[in-house]
Amino acid sequence: MWWNALTWTLAILAALFHLGGAASALHAIWNCRTSASAIAWSLALILFPYLTLPAYWILGTYRFAGYQRAFRAGSLDKKVLADYIKQVGHYAIHDPDPVECGFQRLADFPITRGNKVDLLIDGEAMFAALFEEIEKAESYIYLEYFLIADDDIGRTLKRALIGKARQGVACYFVYDELGSLGLPWSYLKDLREAGIKIYPFYPARVGAGRLQFNFRNHRKITVVDGRVALVGGVNVHDDSLGRNPFYGAWRDTHVRVEGPAVEGIQLAFLSDYFWASDGMVPERLDLKPVPAAGHDTQALYVANGPSDANDEGMLFFLHCIHSAQKRIWLATPYFVPVPSVMDALKAAALRGVEIKVIIPLRWDLFIMYLAAYSYLPEAAASGIEIYRYRAGHPHQKVMLIDDHTSWVGSSNLDARSMQLNFEGNLVVFDQAFALQVEQMLRRDLEQSEPMGRDDYEKRSFFFKLGVKIARLFESIL
């Protein structure tokens, strides 16, 4: 009878779920980064496999080995790459101090001199510089963005690229398929018909791996002719120009780089393009580093991602914090630090380092907004100053360390940027540039209000409960 058949089918499915849960629990014990996450996942997979088995294979994997294996197996000719690194070495700084050595090890690339770095404050400055460089392009343009929208600024970019492609400039484009989920097929079709090579960046191409939403490419990169690059926090959508009435003014920061540091940015793009295009290398590629005439700023692009062997996104933040002697000023849209980074911030504050953190007043991801409140009591107890920006939505990712070092990039202060996303930050070792960053952040602080323990303690029971629940997800936020 149909009832007996249904009963047997359900019994078999239940058994498969439990077997899959047990096998996945072993996988979690073997692969999870921390004992706490291994315990949580393994218990949930054994006790509640019907819910947690799909969730684990979507959110529970923390390594992305295929990316590095693919790039190492076939990208650039090894001799060409060796000659390239040798040329870059001509511009490497001499006798780096321990802090500089740490950054170089994280980047697997030297800090170079002979660079020119321009601070681009907010979307208008960034897009003006972007379209200016696209117009100047003679050979090729590399673009990589987490979010591209089919709105006014997105269509302006599309027209600019199609125009350059018709002039014979080769255009190569990588976009994150989840970040750009709303991008219509017609947008991509128009670019491809113009000869632009555009690929989505996704963590796996076939089978169950396609369900993996954990690994996102959050970088924002433009390289033109191998001579100039733009990197930072600005995505390609109208929100970045303050056109969203909910957010109002949009605070973001980007940089324009010219000089040998562009080569590190170019290599990061080549790695991502190689993966996204299933093993292709752009036909147009200039591997000759050229110093910026009349400029000698020292800079380094530090790229990190889930393919790293040593959680280098987290180590990047730890290295920045541990290197500070006087101050750390940080602007981030999300303040959900992993425990080791929060402990490092508290330890720095206790040794007398001035720590100021600027976060949004309004939320764009409500769970991130709630989770940030859970850190207020311990931050206040350690002397960490947290400010809410009132003059719009701060999306910038910027850090000032003492009076000489600063960075602008794509990394948020959360576990996702430190362990799960592909990110990139330009670290600049220059007092004059650090002063520009200080002045910019000081203006932001003047438009911010301090937060304290009472901002959490005086909230309602249900708000605090929401905060506690949001904090439970800190390892994947």
Phi, psi dihedrals of residue 368, rounded to the nearest 5°: -70, -40
The CA distance from 45 to 36, in Å, is 14
Instruction: Identify whether 197 is a catalytic site residue.
Output: no
Which residues, other chains included, contact 429 with Cβ-Cβ below 8 Å and sequence gap of 6+? 100, 111, 297, 298, 299, 300, 404, 405
Q: Are the C-beta atoms of residues 408 and 254 closer than 8 Å to each other?
A: yes
Of the residues 116, 122, 395, 430, only one is catalytic, namely: 395
- How open is the CA angle 317-408-347, to the nearest 5 degrees? 25
Q: Are the C-beta atoms of residues 146 and 237 closer than 8 Å to each other?
A: no
Instruction: Identify whether 286 is a catalytic site residue.
Output: no
Largest CA distance in the chain: 86
Instruction: Identify whether 402 is a catalytic site residue.
Output: yes
Using DSSP bridges, classify how beta strands 354-360 and 421-429 pair: parallel, antiparallel or unpaired: unpaired
Q: DSSP labels for 32-56? A: -SSHHHHHHHHHHHHH-HHHHHHHH
The CA distance from 135 to 129, in Å, is 10
Of the residues 27, 197, 319, 397, only one is catalytic, namely: 397
Strand partners, 386: 357, 451
Strand partners, 401: 328, 405
Instruction: Identify whether 18 is a catalytic site residue.
Output: no
Q: DSSP labels for 125-187? A: HHHHHHHHHHHH-SSEEEEEES-B-SSHHHHHHHHHHHHHHHTT-EEEEEEETTTTTT--HHH
Of the residues 218, 237, 319, 393, only one is catalytic, namely: 218
Of the residues 272, 402, 414, 430, only one is catalytic, namely: 402
Of the residues 158, 197, 220, 237, only one is catalytic, namely: 220
The CA distance from 38 to 44, in Å, is 10
Instruction: Identify whether 218 is a catalytic site residue.
Output: yes
Instruction: Identify whether 225 is a catalytic site residue.
Output: yes
Of the residues 27, 158, 164, 225, only one is catalytic, namely: 225
Residues designated as active site: 218, 220, 225, 395, 397, 402
